[in-house]
A and B are shown apart, each in its own frame.
Chain A
């Protein structure tokens, strides 16, 4: 009896969840653009920092995907002996840059930092990241409403995420 009794709500819940997901994805396509704009320009993008993978984080932050560009110059070491401190800098010749984001694809949460660049500030940023293991460092430059990226693999000999 209990199985039948429990079965119904469970099924119902599953269906509801499924419907919710469908509804969210449906809405997502139209509403992401604006939400992302706000996230990249005004307030701390909580959701983007919670995403596991790089692609999800980029989507959560900007609602779009980036195209690789040779105008984005990513400067990172080939080999980082200590993953706890990996110096990474980016510069670009692109104009109208509004934000720059740093990601490490294999970190527990891929997104490391987002920098908001108001007019008058140069699109060059240097910082130091933690990297859990050898992986791609991805830099996203938002310029003129479009996304450009550069990627470089950094080999990490000692991880910086609590090994």
Chain B
């Protein structure tokens, strides 16, 4: 299956700008479906970015993150061609991981 994570990590100057788009419903547990039944919460709780063996950015998310979440941040110390490992885990224990190269 194709990865749920799309990532772009671009080095400019000394900082690497990372943009990530993840496919995930991010159901809050407050929304009802067409039959009027509550759609149970299903959301990513933790998203981590690892470079050179250490976390460079960790997101703890609640239900108020929009569907198909997007996040952008920058970190220093990355070089072109370096691996950036991204992984998430949601409240049902589902998880996905991908590795991107810094461009």
* B4 CB → nearest A CB, Å: 16
Q: A128-B66, A129-B64 are contacts. A122–B45 as well, Cβ < 8 Å?
A: no
Apart from A122-B76, A127-B69, A162-B31, what are 6 other A-B pairs with CB-CB below 8 Å? A113-B64, A124-B74, A127-B59, A128-B66, A129-B65, A131-B64
**Distance in angstroms between the alpha carbons of A128 and B70 in the assembled complex:** 6
Which residues in A have their C-beta under 8 angstroms from that of B71?
125-127
* A55 CB → nearest B CB, Å: 16
* Contact stretch, chosen from A19-27, A84-92, A148-156: A84-92
Which of A84, A109, A128 lies at the interface centre, i.e. has the most chain B CB atoms within 10 A of its CB? A128
Query: What 1/0 mask marks residues of chain B from 21 to 61 whose CB sits below 8 Å from any chain A CB?
Result: 00000101011100000000000011000000011111111
* A32 CB → nearest B CB, Å: 18
A160 pairs with B59, CB closer than 8 A = no
A-B contact count (CB 8 A): 104
Listed by A's residue number, 16 A-B pairs whose Cβ atoms lie within 8 Å are: A44-B60, A45-B60, A104-B64, A108-B28, A109-B62, A113-B59, A116-B60, A120-B56, A121-B74, A121-B76, A122-B76, A124-B73, A126-B71, A127-B59, A129-B64, A130-B67
> What secondary structure prevails in chain B residues at the interface with A?
strand
User: In the complex, which residues 91-119 of chain A have their Cβ closer than 8 Å to any Cβ of chain B?
Assistant: 104, 107-109, 111-118
Which residues in A have their C-beta under 8 angstroms from that of B59?
113-116, 127
B76 pairs with A120, CB closer than 8 A = yes
Which of A89, A109, A131 lies at the interface centre, i.e. has the most chain B CB atoms within 10 A of its CB? A109
**Distance in angstroms between the alpha carbons of A160 and B28 in the assembled complex:** 10
Which residues in B have their C-beta under 8 angstroms from that of A10?
none
Q: A89-B72, A130-B28 are contacts. A117–B57 as well, Cβ < 8 Å?
A: yes
Closest to A110 in B: B64
**Distance in angstroms between the alpha carbons of A129 and B46 in the assembled complex:** 16
**Distance in angstroms between the alpha carbons of A116 and B61 in the assembled complex:** 11
Closest to B67 in A: A84
What are the 7 tightest A-B residue pairs by CB atom distance, in nearest-first order?
Answer: A162-B31, A112-B64, A128-B66, A126-B72, A116-B58, A121-B75, A49-B62
Closest to B70 in A: A128
Which residues in B have their C-beta under 8 angstroms from that of A112?
61-62, 64-65
